[in-house]
A and B are shown apart, each in its own frame.
Chain A
């Protein structure tokens, strides 16, 4: 009877040690999982930001939008007539293979205000969206006038 009780105590002791060990292990895993999740989220955000910058850089170097005279390119400049004509093209150029889920607009902010859409492919269930804005010049070639504009790029993940 006494021996049986001793054995029961030993089993209880083992089970308790295992229980505490698994609780500690579980807590450790939850903590690690949370940290990992945060690090993954930070990584995703960084990647989306990088993608937005990359898209902005690509848009600024598109010959169908860029300001040029005899193939000499003006940096951070869009030709107004090209912005208008690109929007008139039928069918619209599909930049999805290059820009993926993102949107890009050029806004004239002075003297007039108007907007030209370059690419729009919104994602419904996105984890992260980063929007960047870059000041640009919009040139009216025929009138020989420069206007202030903003290139806005929003990238989704």
Chain B
């Protein structure tokens, strides 16, 4: 009787032992599988980031270039730290300002570069969007200013950016509408998670009005712009704040480039071989350029740069001086 009881306990313990070992093995191999899955995912994210980084490098090195990377993307962009991340993998993005949605979520990522000229190339703006974003440009053919604005915008718009000219709902997650000197409209976008509406009435410099949200707000948020590239930058940004962050980086870059050109103009103005590079009143073109560049730099480093002052110096002082230098076969500033 005792022997039978002992055997029964032994059998039970045998099964408990088998189950414990089985469970331990199951946990062990499951942990390995999970770890492997995590590693593979991280590796895939890193590969994708490398691909994007290479594309950024390629696109930003040439102005007006567009490139589409095929695949499904969920990219988090951080303007403040100038970085981008896929999952837990992150990278520094680029030396040029990037304007895009904060969450680039969709299929096929299109990267484009637009030159920001003051009038020298200060930076190449990088514009990024997925096919989950719909672009709409609204203008009035009967309004000469609106038509002129449209022609100018189209000339700088990256070639791979498809746009509609009516408020048509294509079911995109994000809708971006540019109103060119025409009254803003709400439109009906049932499936859109966000609608970004911006309105401009000038091309060279001025104010950008942001009317964001699925319903049209009565009062816009206003930001300033200088140059057609910055209108596109606002169109690709999620909000006035994101646009402001990107432009802050752009002005920082402008201040560096302007200072290098200012020092170049200063050196050339004192160069004895370049003393013939003067206007009829005897004023050295390099001195004119230096003064204009110093003012552009000063505006760029200020907390609230004045676009009209930058544009005025660039167009009325620097551009003519550079043209005259070229006419006189003198080394150009830019």
Contacts and interface: CB of A to CB of B under 8 A. Distances in A.
Contacts, number: 92
A53 B121 contact: no
Nearest to A7: B10
Given A81-B267, A88-B263, A97-B92, A54 B119 contact: no
Nearest to B256: A93
A21 B127 CA distance: 57
Nearest to B266: A85
Interface residues of A, number: 35
B124 A61 contact: yes
Interface residues of B, number: 41
Interface stretch (B50-58, B99-107, B221-229): B50-58
Interface in B99-121: 115, 117, 119-121
B94 A58 contact: yes
Contacts of B92: 97-100
Contact of B60 (A47, A61, A82, A141): A61
Contacts of A88: 263
B219 interface: no
Interface in B37-71: 43, 46, 50, 53-54, 56-58, 60-62
Contacts of B273: 142-143
A71 B323 CA distance: 12
A57 B332 CA distance: 24
Contact of A85 (B43, B93, B124, B263): B263
A89 B261 CA distance: 11
Nearest to B319: A70
25 contacts: A43-B46, A53-B54, A53-B57, A54-B54, A58-B61, A58-B94, A58-B95, A63-B121, A63-B257, A68-B120, A71-B117, A71-B120, A85-B260, A85-B267, A86-B256, A93-B256, A95-B95, A97-B82, A98-B95, A100-B92, A141-B331, A142-B267, A142-B271, A142-B331, A143-B273
Given A58-B57, A61-B124, A93-B256, 10 more contacts: A53-B54, A54-B53, A58-B94, A60-B61, A85-B259, A88-B263, A89-B259, A89-B260, A98-B95, A99-B95
